[in-house]
Each structure stands twice: as structure tokens, then as C-alpha cells.
Amino acid sequence: MSDTVAPVVLVTGAGGGLGQALVTAFRSDGWHVAAGYRVLQSSNETGAHYSLQMDVTNKSQIEKAVEGMIAENGRIDCLINNAGLIADSLSWQIEDEDWGRVVDVNLKGAFFCMQAVSMQMIKQRGGHIINIGSFSGRRGTAGQAHYSAAKAGLVGLGESLAREIGSRNVRVNTVLPGLLPTRMTSGLPPEQLQNLVSENALRRINNLDEVARFVVFLSKMQNVSGQVFQLDSRIAKWT
């Protein structure tokens, strides 16, 4: 690839607050941005170079979208597994359907996307997969047993893949973006939100643009793989 050719990134879950910030940040940095949506949206409205219909639980839809990307661009340099879903409930009240949806979107969907891009990245001997995880996967959160389990699994999945394809110069990392002002948090009761804020040493939530800039920076790092980056000020034990 010529140095003058823009690198190509696919951002899943581009319709959410962090997804939109990631699209904007990558485009501002000169990347060719493909944005994946469960419900297709116009590129003119989203700021991406082009949009893809990508329900991450639909493996054939993902494969078709990625194949089209590669056919058009000749490569894919970065995948951001950002699609996510919550359905908070105490563990003994979680319905089977909700457990399945949360795990399918947050874990199985990321796995499908990783599978779809891995062979191309191996073939071109370069690429970066960045999973958007959660602090809930590092330290389980009450009312989020399914979400915490899925996000913990995402860390293990990323580390396993990092070992498998590191020799082909493909990096895999996980980012824990912290508490963000998105639709996921907008519906929280004020008391619960304040409790989450108070767990941060800095007593504040994170910033979408700051997280997006970090992800762009990480995407270009050539010698980092198999790592987990926490971006807020919650402090957890090392073990």
C-alpha cells in the first residue's frame, strides 16, 4: 500500500454516541471510514465515507459487508468492535431472551467481526483489532451479570486472538472507555449515575472525544498487542 493511500477502518455500532465520535475522529485523522449500523443510515448524515448494514449477530451479513469493503479498498487496516447492548436486571430476573441478546451482541458479534477480517489482515500481514470493552467485565457489576460476563469474555477473546495472529503482525487490544454520556447511561436514575461517578477518583465521567482520540492513537501503534487499556479513574486491584 502506498503511503499516500488512506488506511481503512470499520467501526461497528456507529449509531451510538461513542460510535459517532469514533467515526468523526478517524475521519479527521485521514482514515477511510466505513460505519456499520444495525439499521442502515445515510453516509451523508453520519460523516463516514460509506455506511454498511451490519447486525453483528448476523454472521452472513457481516461477511458480505466485509467482503464488499475489501473488494472496494483492497484491504482493511483496523476493526473497532464497538457495537454493544445492555438490558440491566438482577441475575435471578434475567430472561433467557435478554441473556442471549446481550451475550450475542457484546461477545458473539465481536467474534463474528473478528473472524470476518482476520484472514485479510493475515494475508496483508498487518492490521489492528480494537475491542471496546467495559469496566463491568473487569469487576462484575450488580444488575449486569450477562453484560459483565460478555465483556469479560471479550477480553479473553482478544488475548487469545492476539496470541494466534501476532506472528502475522496483526495486533488485538481492548479498551475500557469508562462511563460516558451516551444513550446507555442517559436512562440511569440520578442516584445510580452519581454512585458510578463517585467510584472515579476524579469524580467525573469520561469524554467521548477523548476516548475516540485515544482509540485512533492506539490504532496506529505497531508494537502493542494483547493489552487492556482502562480510560477512566476507577481503581481496581491488579489481580
Better-predicted residue by pLDDT, 200 or 39: 200
- Beta partners for 51? 35
- Beta partners for 52? 36
Look at the alpha carbons of 212, 217, 151, 24 in this order and tell me if their dihedral is positive or negative: positive
**Is 147 noted as a catalytic residue in this protein?**
yes
Which tens digits make up the pLDDT trace of 65-110? 999 999 999 999 999 999 998 887 888 988 899 989 999 999 999 9
Domain positions in the chain are 8-225
Measured distance CA(53)–CA(42) in Å, rounded: 10
* Active-site pick, 31, 99, 135, 147: 147
Which tens digits make up the pLDDT trace of 166-207? 999 999 999 999 989 887 777 767 887 888 888 899 999 899
Measured distance CA(238)–CA(185) in Å, rounded: 27
Q: Domain spanning 8-225: which CATH class is it, in words?
A: alpha beta
- pLDDT score for 139: 85
Residue 179: which of 213, 238, 134, 139 has the closest Cα? 134
CA distances to 52, 83, 85, 159, 229 from 16, rounded to whole Å, are 15, 8, 10, 26, 21
